[in-house]
Structure formats: structure tokens, C-alpha cells
Amino acid sequence: MARYLVTGCAGFIGSHLTEKLVETLAPNGDVIRGLDNFETGNRENLATFRDRIEFLECDLRNPAAVADACRDVDYIFHVAALPSVPRSVKDPRTSHTANIDGTFNLLEGARAAGVRRIVYSASSSAYGNQPGFPRVETMVPMPIAPYPVQKLAGEFYMKSYWQIYGIETACLRYFNIFGPRQVPDSPYSGIMAKFTLQMLRGEPPTIFGDGEQGRDFTYIDNAVSANLLAMAAPAEKIAGRVFNVACGERHTINKTFKVLAELLNFKGQPIYSPPRTGDIRDSLADISAAEAFGYRVAVSFEEGLRRTVEWYKQQYSEVAAR
């Protein structure tokens, strides 16, 4: 029997990952422990599995609480963060303490508990405005805003704890993950969720910049799969390394708007506003390194959009019926 800890288990990515662990590992007798402080997580995201996990309401900024959460744990998926580039630009100190201090506290708790492996949710924003495409893990990071700097610091900490203390660590650089449960009505929401809810309400979405900036949008199921594969892979394939998690495709914001508008039968036009501070211009991943440990794109961009729209239609049926 093994015990797994998921940090940020009530968040968008963390809840999907925890749900999958409950489905696949709990029947074998493995124990799933989740923690969240609900700063960005949602209690409703726990509904389908809350009674099948050990849940701790815990803040990673509390070293003693984190040490307790790590006790008797074998493997950790570190998903918890205060995400969003704009959020970190507005309030860098709070973002720093959550993302850097929280990660350090977790590593120290893991070290004391004898944790064997940590899979860390990193960010493609660490590449910044690197001129080369596609993004390859060997490129020198050029982070612009505080958030990518913080996530990159987490990567260095992970590698350090592998080299010095022998904790096997793998860092997954997510590229614009989207899907069900992503919060749609926050100033820091991803565009898929935000655009979808706005169109359901009959409101024109706002596109920052000219809309021709590109993103490698990646459906949530692909990110969950990457986590499970990285946790199960032989140490020689993953330990101390960084991997892109994406689809390896570039889609512009304008194209994304058009596809969503078609799926939602939205006839309006977007509003264009000046680019946001800290946003990168383009993003496209080389995913061959992750493919070496078994990662494959299971859900395409188009299919992911369709599933996402259907979920939001169900969740916001009252809005959609207007």
C-alpha cells in the first residue's frame, strides 16, 4: 500500500488529478491524501471523491501543518499554487509566499517524511519571450513576470532536492491547460473558461492585443495523464528533469474565439484591448521529451473545446437558456 499526497486537490488541475487517482489507485488499497486552503480551490470540486480521500484543510505557508500533511506519504503531486501572471503582477508578495515559500515548506516536509518522489506542476511561462520555437526544455528560461519567476524557482528547488537529498523529482511545464472546473468569472481566469461564460451570457469577450498571439492549449485530461506517467516512470527517465506538457500545436486567440463562437452559436464580435503587462506573445511546445516516458496527446484541442463547452452549458444552464 502506498500513500499519495495531492496539494491543491480542490483546484482546477488538482481536483481532476485527485479524482483520477481515486478511480485508479484507491481500489488497489492505495491511500490518497489531499490538501487545500480554498484560496483558489472550490469545495464543490471535491464532491465526487471527498469521502474517499484523507482531506486536510491546510496552507502550504504553514511549515508545521505541511510537515503533518507529509507524514507517512510516499509520493507527492505538488499542484497547489497561486496561479496567473496578472495576479502576480498585481500582488507579487502574496504570490511569492504561496509559490516559493509554500514549495520550500513542502520539500522540507517531504524530506523529513522520507517521500520518494514529487511531481511538480511547473509553468511554460518560464520560457518568457524566448525567440525560438518550438519551446524545448534545454532553452534558457526568460521569465518576465513574478509568477513564472516563482515557478522557475520551484523547478530549481526540485532539482536541488533530487541532487542533494535523493528525492526523485520531475517538473511538468504546463502549456495553457483548460477544461471543466476552470473558474470562469475571476479577473485571472483562463480565456477558455472566461470566453465561454461570457458568450453564454451573450457578452462580447475581451481579447488583449491583436488576437494573433499563439498558445499551445492543452486539455486537462492530457495534463492528468502526464502526472500519472511521470509518477510511474523509472527514475532514470524523469528524476531531476523538466518536461513540457502540451499538444505541440499553436492556436491564435482569434481562432480560439471563432471556434468557441461556433460551438456556442455566438454571433457577436470580441472587444480588443491593449496587451496586458507580463503576457508573452507566443507559445508552442516540443513534447518529445515527455513522449519518452509515455506521454501522448489523448484529447485534441478541438475535442477538448467541445467537452469544455458542454460542461459549462450544463453548469450554467440557467445562463445558457436566456
Torsion 310-314-319-322 (CA) sign: positive
The question of whether 312 is a catalytic residue gets the answer no
Strand partners, 35: 7, 56
Which residue of the set 147, 161, 295, 312 is catalytic? 147
Please give the Cα distance from 150 to 147 (Å, whole number).
5
For residues 220 and 150, is the Cβ–Cβ distance under 8 A? no
Residues with a known catalytic role:
147
